[in-house]
Structure 1
Amino acid sequence: MVLRNIRYIYCLILFCYSTILFSQEKEFIQGKLQDAQTGEPVVFATIRIKDNAIGVISNQDGGFRIPKKFKELGDVLVVSSMGYQKKEIPIESLSHNDVNIIRLSYGVLELAEAVVTAKKKRQLSPRRIVRRALEAIPVNFSQNSFSTVGYYRDYQLNEENEYINLNEAIIEVFDAGFDELDHKTSRIRIYDYKKNTDFRRNHFAEQKYDYRTRRKIISNAFLSGYGGNEFIILRIHDAIRSYKVNSFDFVNTLEKDLLSNHSFFREEDLYLDDEILYTIGITKSVPASRVSNKLYITGYKVVGRLYISKNDFAIHGMEYTLYDNQNFNINKKSNPSNPHGQPIFEVVTEYKRIYTKMYLNYISLHNLFRLKEEPKFIAEDITVDFSKKYFIVTFNTEPEARSANILRNYKFKFKGRKLKFLRSELNKKRIVLYPDIEKAELDAMFKEIEENRKDGILNKDLLVAEIENIKDKEGNLLNEWTFKDYQQFREYFVQRINQKAKPIPDSLLMKRNRPIFEDQPIVKPDDFEEYWMNTPLK
């Protein structure tokens, strides 16, 4: 009867939990954007409510969420993305029970067609187009104060491409205008934040970068804290907003270094809504160099794009990826599966036009890092049986028999003298080692070990034990530290722009030198319910 009641309670808990999750899902209409030809996800597309300033940006898998209330109001979604045809979708046509698949058709304006539509204007070189765009930043981007309200998140992807350590917030940025330095004058407040526990958390991957112990590092690179938290680090990587100051290698200071540091080439023009954009490819290569026969200094390669209006040279977007260009080994064999080498970081930024000025639409900072993980297979304890005169090694998992019974893998020294073993006996996680020495010497050794132990712990100055080259049944090597590669993302997606924003008192602003998700002031405005977190679909 008791067991039956326990089962009933357990089932009731599961039912209640499932009901909660189901009701939370019902609050949103879920969708995924796909390329109509390839079926690939359309990433960072803008999904907005028609005739309403609010909306979201699609995730890495093309997914997005829209509150159900917009369906009840009979609203229409407007979906647009660089190079795709804009699409309008009545929200009432979307299912609130399933993930809605929305396919976008690619719309490339052929270069030959672009020449005709340019009305026979003199063709500009790619470098000249970029120069005109940089010179036009003070004109095309707002010099007056404004604010953006958006969805911020940082998260990681493990080697299985699973989301881990997802943190989310709704944030407002008060920007004094492009003639002011962002990191000195902009003010930030947090409407709400949470550490999302629906996705798995990994404590070690959450830690700060550690170049001293190299427990967590970015290979061949260093990510500065820039005197701020995660969001400050993200904003400094907006090279367009920070065009007057140093942002990141090798863009450095955009207005004066981009042209001198890079080469440019023309690609196919693109549509974005009703505008035609120049697409300018960006490249830079820093070759690797040999220091010695076995040591190279890593080379770097930049691959990127600028999307620039053909009307007024406004910069609509910038993609910039820095690769580890050491795509060869010591024998100089190339890596055909990854011609650019190993990506180190990627910054993708898009601006949108409101009347005559450009405002941030989203920014995504993506970098790789390597995490040093503790050995999975270790020797937990070494003990002595003083009556039977043998050593016992206890492992944390069951060793593989072949390597565990190789006696030379056990390097024991007594008072600096190497010990040999006669035989071994393996029993699950324990192995017994019998020393190969004369009985009188054996008795004397164990007596001295026993007399010099303290609180049952063997004297390490008297007896030294090293074990190597043993694997467990899963193939893990004893005491081997392993390295895993993770992807780190920090992203901010603007949901609303206020062109006449007024800053709030300093006491309500985000503490810049404190992590976003640790004891920050929370200030929810009257219209807080208008915003939502575009949590990735599970």
Structure 2
Amino acid sequence: MQKKIVLTVLYFLTIFLSFSQQELKIEIVDADTKEPISFATALFKETSRGVIADYDGGIRIPFINIENTPDLIITALGYTDLEVSCKTLNINEINRIEMMPQAESLDVVILNVTKKDRQKAFNVNRLIKDNKKILGKKIVEKAINRITYNLDDKPHSIIGYYRDYQIVNDEYFNLIEGIVEQYDAGIKTNKITDVNNKNAIYSLKKNPEFKSSNRYAKAYDGESKYVQNADLLGFGGNELSILNVHNPIRNFNLNSFSYVYKFIENFIPNHEFAKEGFVFDEDNPIVNISFTTLTNQRKGVQQRIQGTTKAEKFKVSGIISISLRDYAIHGFSYTMFDYKQRNPLFTVKIEYKKMQDKMYLNYISFNNRFVVTDEFVFKEEKVTYDKENECFEVLFNNDVNNQKINKRNFKIRYKNKKVIIKSVEQMSSKKVKVFINDFDKSLSELYDDDMSEITFIIKNIEDVDGRDIYKSREVAAYQFREFFSQEIFKDKKIDANLKFTSKVEPLLYAPSNTLKNTKPYIVNTPLKNK
């Protein structure tokens, strides 16, 4: 199973409140490339509880007594399972833990299995060989058709860590995080609209240790904040509802995003597929099938409603990971790129894990690229005239790029008459003097700060940060919404004593509940706090 790592520790806070709490910090990386392993799962040994690493492979593990901290079983699709003792980790620094990629050679994997069970290995080998004859497209079709069998159709709930934030220039902004329980009445119900599908918040707040910006957090308006070269579909709902809408596996028969639309109807016709190889979840072979968009996509419901006559030329790259035993979908990654800008417009990453005989959401991460206009505009703050030296003094609001400034950058008229510019001299990082030829001494009538008769034009000047004068600079940013499961409860019906969130109002306005369980859940705040 594709292994991604996260480390975390369980403590019974109600028992140990008198002691100070510390935490372990962990970063999970690939043993070969040393790159972070995103979204690894770490289960506490001999329990069904755990946490999931973030995109950067980071985990925080709170603890009271390190000696009582259970070991972690770390897994990620494509990596060998790893058991880690928290007692061996350093509490004073970030612990880098390496996971080994699974061997690409099928023979090596089977050889290792045969040492334990030759018959099991033979069955796995035969299963892989039989499916080698089947096209990737056909395997995807079987997986989609079995969603209602592989996912739980009975009421259940998942408690996990939710967070919402923006990343601008590799910095986190407006981090909202907390513990949320999602009640699900079953795969045959509408995740968004069914009254029995509810969400309860146990903790949720904006983290004051991270930077804040109202500009990045504001709603899209098409001008000061917008998605470049794309239209936003009106899904409606609050942050968590928007995140849940972008799970095409759970919403297999509902309209979602381009070019998935209705997963059961449009995903296969709109994409072409290729098998990429196998990974293993214990003795369960999982095939990775890559996909991209076809040249001519079929239109989905939203396109038909909007009257779109031609599909936009966007490229998609993705992987869907499917078990060859029961055709359960274990992983789904979908990134859409803008052909013109060659930038990712949005990315959805989803993983499901098996618990007993059914598949349950392990994590979902959705991010979209947006553009905001810089609040700061480079311009002159003040222009005055120096009669004695026959020059204009221009004071800018930021340091000027002195390599790109000369007299051609300025045009001056006095009483609609052109003023001849002799030279330009930069006096300081923000001040420039523009010397003129005042042949008829007409400018001697000017007062130092009276510019009412002067037309002063500045063009083609940049500040040291590359901003063009008078122009608002656009900044690329990414909006993230993520949910990471920590514990799954089968056959769990709605607790009537809970206060549930609206599916429309912002989550920060939602009522909060108190956890009755003494076992705490982990708010896995990002390690990157710049």
Task: Tell me, yes or no, whether TM beats 0.5.
Answer: yes
> Is 1:313 aligned to 2:324, yes or no?
no
Once residues 195 and 381 of structure 1 are traced to their aligned partners in structure 2, the CA distance between those partners, rounded to angstroms, is 40
Aligned partner (choices 94, 106, 114) of residue 99 of structure 1: 94
CA contact (8 A) 2:19 2:64 kept: no
1:34 alignment partner in structure 2: 29
> Is 1:353 aligned to 2:354, yes or no?
yes
Aligned partner (choices 193, 198, 203) of residue 209 of structure 2: 198
Residue 242 of structure 2 aligns to a residue whose secondary structure is helix
2:72 alignment partner in structure 1: 77
Once residues 25 and 432 of structure 1 are traced to their aligned partners in structure 2, the CA distance between those partners, rounded to angstroms, is 62
2:268 alignment partner in structure 1: 259
Unaligned runs of 5+ in 1: 1-22, 289-296, 328-340, 451-455
Listed one character per residue, the Cα deviations across residues 39-93 of structure 1 (whole Å, up to 9, x for unaligned) are 2222111101122222111122222122325844352211111121222223333
Using the TM superposition, give the Cα deviation of residue 99 of structure 1 relative to its aligned residue in structure 2, in angstroms: 2.6
2:476 alignment partner in structure 1: 485
Alpha carbons of 1:94 and 1:409: their partners in 2 closer, same or farther (altered >3 Å)?
A: closer
Using the TM superposition, give the Cα deviation of residue 163 of structure 1 relative to its aligned residue in structure 2, in angstroms: 3.0
2:40 alignment partner in structure 1: 45
Once residues 262 and 24 of structure 1 are traced to their aligned partners in structure 2, the CA distance between those partners, rounded to angstroms, is 56
2:168 alignment partner in structure 1: 158
- Give the partner amino acid of 1:397: N
1:169 alignment partner in structure 2: 178
Listed one character per residue, the Cα deviations across residues 167-195 of structure 1 (whole Å, up to 9, x for unaligned) are 21211111121111111022112111122
2:521 alignment partner in structure 1: 531
Using the TM superposition, give the Cα deviation of residue 247 of structure 1 relative to its aligned residue in structure 2, in angstroms: 1.2
Matches within 5 A, 1:374-523: 374-375=375-376, 377-383=378-384, 391-399=392-400, 404=405, 406-422=406-422, 427-428=427-428, 429-433=430-434, 436-437=437-438, 439=440, 441-442=442-443, 446=446, 459=452, 463-472=454-463, 476-504=467-495, 508-517=499-508, 519-523=509-513
> Is 1:302 aligned to 2:320, yes or no?
no
Once residues 79 and 33 of structure 1 are traced to their aligned partners in structure 2, the CA distance between those partners, rounded to angstroms, is 10
Once residues 109 and 440 of structure 1 are traced to their aligned partners in structure 2, the CA distance between those partners, rounded to angstroms, is 84
Aligned partner (choices 105, 112, 117) of residue 126 of structure 2: 117
Once residues 398 and 37 of structure 1 are traced to their aligned partners in structure 2, the CA distance between those partners, rounded to angstroms, is 45
Alpha carbons of 1:346 and 1:397: their partners in 2 closer, same or farther (altered >3 Å)?
A: closer
**Alignment length (residue pairs):** 480
CA contact (8 A) 1:472 1:478 kept: yes
Unaligned runs of 5+ in 2: 1-17, 111-122, 298-310
Alpha carbons of 1:415 and 1:251: their partners in 2 closer, same or farther (altered >3 Å)?
A: same
Mean CA deviation greater in 391-400 or 494-503: 391-400
Alpha carbons of 1:471 and 1:126: their partners in 2 closer, same or farther (altered >3 Å)?
A: closer
Once residues 424 and 35 of structure 2 are traced to their aligned partners in structure 1, the CA distance between those partners, rounded to angstroms, is 57
Residue 116 of structure 1 aligns to a residue whose secondary structure is helix
Once residues 77 and 402 of structure 1 are traced to their aligned partners in structure 2, the CA distance between those partners, rounded to angstroms, is 57
- Give the partner amino acid of 2:193: K
1:138 alignment partner in structure 2: 148
Using the TM superposition, give the Cα deviation of residue 479 of structure 1 relative to its aligned residue in structure 2, in angstroms: 2.8
CA contact (8 A) 1:317 1:351 kept: yes
Once residues 354 and 494 of structure 1 are traced to their aligned partners in structure 2, the CA distance between those partners, rounded to angstroms, is 13
Residue 333 of structure 2 aligns to a residue whose secondary structure is strand
Identity %: 32
Once residues 424 and 182 of structure 2 are traced to their aligned partners in structure 1, the CA distance between those partners, rounded to angstroms, is 68
Residue 128 of structure 1 aligns to a residue whose secondary structure is helix
Once residues 127 and 401 of structure 2 are traced to their aligned partners in structure 1, the CA distance between those partners, rounded to angstroms, is 72
Listed one character per residue, the Cα deviations across residues 355-393 of structure 1 (whole Å, up to 9, x for unaligned) are 111110000112222332245632012345689986443
Pairwise CA RMSD of aligned residues? 3.3
CA contact (8 A) 1:80 1:273 kept: no
> Is 1:273 aligned to 2:271, yes or no?
no
Once residues 28 and 263 of structure 1 are traced to their aligned partners in structure 2, the CA distance between those partners, rounded to angstroms, is 46
Listed one character per residue, the Cα deviations across residues 16-41 of structure 1 (whole Å, up to 9, x for unaligned) are xxxxxxx9996222222222222222
Once residues 275 and 24 of structure 1 are traced to their aligned partners in structure 2, the CA distance between those partners, rounded to angstroms, is 44
> Is 1:209 aligned to 2:220, yes or no?
yes
What TM-score do you get using the length of structure 2 for normalisation? Answer: 0.81
> Is 1:372 aligned to 2:382, yes or no?
no
Residue 507 of structure 2 aligns to a residue whose secondary structure is coil
Once residues 518 and 232 of structure 2 are traced to their aligned partners in structure 1, the CA distance between those partners, rounded to angstroms, is 33
Once residues 82 and 230 of structure 2 are traced to their aligned partners in structure 1, the CA distance between those partners, rounded to angstroms, is 41
What TM-score do you get using the length of structure 1 for normalisation? Answer: 0.80
Listed one character per residue, the Cα deviations across residues 126-146 of structure 1 (whole Å, up to 9, x for unaligned) are 222111111111111111111
CA contact (8 A) 2:63 2:69 kept: no
Mean CA deviation greater in 225-234 or 491-500: 225-234
